[in-house]
Structure 1
């Protein structure tokens, strides 16, 4: 294959390139799949807040449990020797209102141990799953536990555009202005890809490094774009 094909696994925060791998974050993660989502349990223990940061660092969030069947699946992930795992349910944002970190955050399913949510002290604002599969409230930063992370199973493909000499290229300013749907300052290539997908009509995007990160231009085009290309310190990617 002459053209480099990038396969971007959003939730693993990893860019895989044909014949070699470019790591952008933690990639040694074992994912388990259930009904359109993928789950992993951290090998290291964290506070609840740090658990959320860990999950986000691998493109996921603390798990959101919406049914008894999903709860049973998450319970099956308990590592040997562990008796507690952080889940994404918490009431740190609004006093007395339990919400999930994943969107939508207001699923009604609950699996409290003896309905402990009705008399939990106000300072217990984060939920953990115990070895029985039930949930209990905890002080968010007083326990260090393993975290259950969840991501939606999304796999997207994009290809970096090159010229006949094999150089990475991008659109010239006139073509860029004509074909750009919208632009946004992003922190990474993956964030730009996510932005492209969110826009909906995007079938290509162009990135250029700036002092604040990366400028992402979301594009919609049709037909041949080879005449619009030049090499000037930016990169064009097309969805494949």
Structure 2
């Protein structure tokens, strides 16, 4: 005999919210991913931190195709303090990049700029400590610029293109807000998902699995990225 489980109040609220957003966006809500502090490693730094020829151990898939959280973690040491068990994300990249929140920067004693991934010129460095060694980087620490990943089909449906800047309504009924300067990234290799960091999510009462809405900007956003790759 089959049984039907009753939805909890929280599940019911989330279901209703999703249905409303689906209606507003023609059946295509944008799921939200909240990024905690993490690090991307290049091959050379992986060898120093975890041993020559070491490989990342898959822990769980992330929202973007081919991206995953690894079992491996490192410690970050700055001028003022340290952060332990910072997750390594895979696969390996061409250059090591550390993504933290503004609050994490206070703990470490560094002032990373808000940057799009890969734009590392002029960024502060950090000491990275692994089980087999440590390395002092002279650049690579950023606060990730909030953004939306989407496919070309998604972009056509939403009426945007790669590198566009949009506004998004995000968060719960009590602390929700409109975020400006949300950058659009379009590629056939992406899956539809918006990314914010923990500081931004906490400020508006948002969490992983929520849905956001592209909206008309109340003011024209003017966001200029500093630095080059």
> With structure 1 as the length reference, what TM-score do the two structures score?
0.24
- Name the larger-Rg structure: 1
> With structure 2 as the length reference, what TM-score do the two structures score?
0.25
